[in-house]
Structure 1
Amino acid sequence: MLFHFSENPNINKFEPRKSNAFPELPSVVWSIDKNNAPLYYFPRECPRIGFWPKPDSKTVDLEVFQKSTIAEKVIAIESRWLQCIKETRLYVYHFSNELFTCFDESAGYYISTETIVPLQVEPVGDLIERLVEANIELRLTPSLLPLKISLISSTLHFSMIRMRNAQL
């Protein structure tokens, strides 16, 4: 099963479209796997950085970024988005895997050039509760930019989403 998250509960079909982040791709429909779905338990425009260890992550990186947590993943957001997260009603669309191909296995991204009709849609519920249930540590910070700079040179997996909306 693959997923798509939206603040719109009334999408009957997903039409392929161009991506600003990947302009070299044809028009596609994006989906996410179950393991990486918590990266999308946020309002669409909320900038966020998720990070987690890889099997070959260096000890120094684990000590810097993961030392104080036993969470599977850490997701950092800017403090100014907390209230929006509390107020956002988010919906999860369920897709069959059949029409999708893996775009990035570590990030859990799948794409399809076909129009996709969802199998079902349901409310996600309290977003912070969903993060807790997924064993995610949520970190609040005034700005994501120092974390971004540090993670780029690390040996951890990371996902940076909607960074164009981050505080400078």
Structure 2
Amino acid sequence: MELYHFSHEPDIEVFIPRVKANRTDMPPVVWAIDPEHAFTFYVPRNCPRIVYKRSVMMSEEDERTFFGVSSSDTVMVMENDWYSQISQTTMYRYTFAREGFERFDETAGYFISQQTVRPLDMQPISHLLDQLMALNIEVRFTPRLTKLREAILASTLTDFGIHRFEHAKR
């Protein structure tokens, strides 16, 4: 299995372990994500977003609330103010060999390595919203994510991610 790292920079030749700003309790590491969850990075780095998936554990009421008549099993919600930036951004997907990485979070698909890593490949990814929709992900926009976050945290949904919420409107 290959792993990925997403960046706004198109010319990274080597990834050196570093301490992540919101994980100062951890040693320096290189972060990567598995292919199944890579789509969660098809937006600019600091774009606040909520991603959730259907699960067998959710109540019928929550299925109606969060999916309505949607035929998609995955929904990704971002704030309206990010639409233009998402539309104009190109992300760079670096590919890593799986060797040297350990699983950090199975639900989110995160892997870490304490070693310096050289990418095998780099691919630019543009038309990010088109890429998401091609994966049958329902893309939604809202003025603010706060109410959705509160609703998800109080729900029976078990497969969700709340990303870069520190950049969301309050």
Same fold (TM over 0.5): yes
2:131 corresponding residue in structure 1: 130
Tell me, yes or no, if structure 1 residue 21 matches structure 2 residue 25: no
Write out per-residue CA displacement over residues 102-151 of structure 1, whole angstroms, 9 at most, x where no aligned residue.
Answer: 11111111111111110000111210111011111111000011111111
Q: Distance in 2 between matches of 1:115 and 1:155?
A: 40
What is the one-letter code of the residue matched to 1:162? R
2:90 corresponding residue in structure 1: 89
Aligned-pair identity (%): 38
Give the stretch that moved more between structures: 16-25 or 95-104. 16-25
Q: Distance in 1 between matches of 2:21 and 2:155?
A: 25
Tell me, yes or no, if structure 1 residue 161 matches structure 2 residue 152: no
2:11 corresponding residue in structure 1: 10
SS in structure 2 of the partner of residue 129 of structure 1: helix
Give the stretch that moved more between structures: 70-79 or 20-29. 20-29
Q: Scaled by the length of structure 2, what TM-score is found? A: 0.94
For residues 4-153 of structure 1, what are the structure 2 equivalents within 5 Å? 4-153=5-154
| Structure 1: segments with no counterpart, 5+ residues | none
Q: Scaled by the length of structure 1, what TM-score is found? A: 0.95
Quote the RMSD (CA, aligned, Å): 1.2
Give the stretch that moved more between structures: 148-157 or 137-146. 148-157
SS in structure 2 of the partner of residue 86 of structure 1: helix
What is the one-letter code of the residue matched to 2:25? E
Question: Are 1:16 and 1:114, in contact at CA under 8 Å, matched by a contact in 2?
Answer: yes
What is the one-letter code of the residue matched to 1:134? L
